[in-house]
Amino acid sequence: MVENQKNYQRAKDRVEKKIGFMIHAGIYFVVNAGLITLNLTRSPEKLWFIWPLGGWGIGLFFHAIKVFGHASAASWKDRMIEKEQSKLDQ
């Protein structure tokens, strides 16, 4: 029962992190679409929208690594722990 609660909490935490990333990505696309539109309609001779798009994009990329890369690393770590436990149990 305790193990089920731990797994539930870990799963809940992972889902909350993924939802947080999806919200971040959605806001990124909406805001940058607005900036691109603003730039191209007001001053198309100078394309300044690439700076916030790129800067924020780097942040979004690292957020994705933290959310999705960490999950796979955590499951890899869990598999290693289970393997070591099975060796010790023998």
pLDDT averaged per 10 residues, the chain (length 90): 82 93 98 98 97 98 89 73 82
User: Taking a C-beta distance cutoff of 8 angstroms, is the pair 60, 24 a contact?
Assistant: yes
- As given in the structure block, the two tokens for residue 71 are 């999950």
Integer Cα distance of 14 and 2 in angstroms: 18
> So what's the pLDDT on residue 71?
61
Integer Cα distance of 43 and 11 in angstroms: 47
Q: Which amino acid is at 62?
A: F
- As given in the structure block, the two tokens for residue 84 are 């070591």
Of how many residues is the chain composed?
90
Q: Which amino acid is at 70?
A: H
The residue with tokens 């990124």 is 28
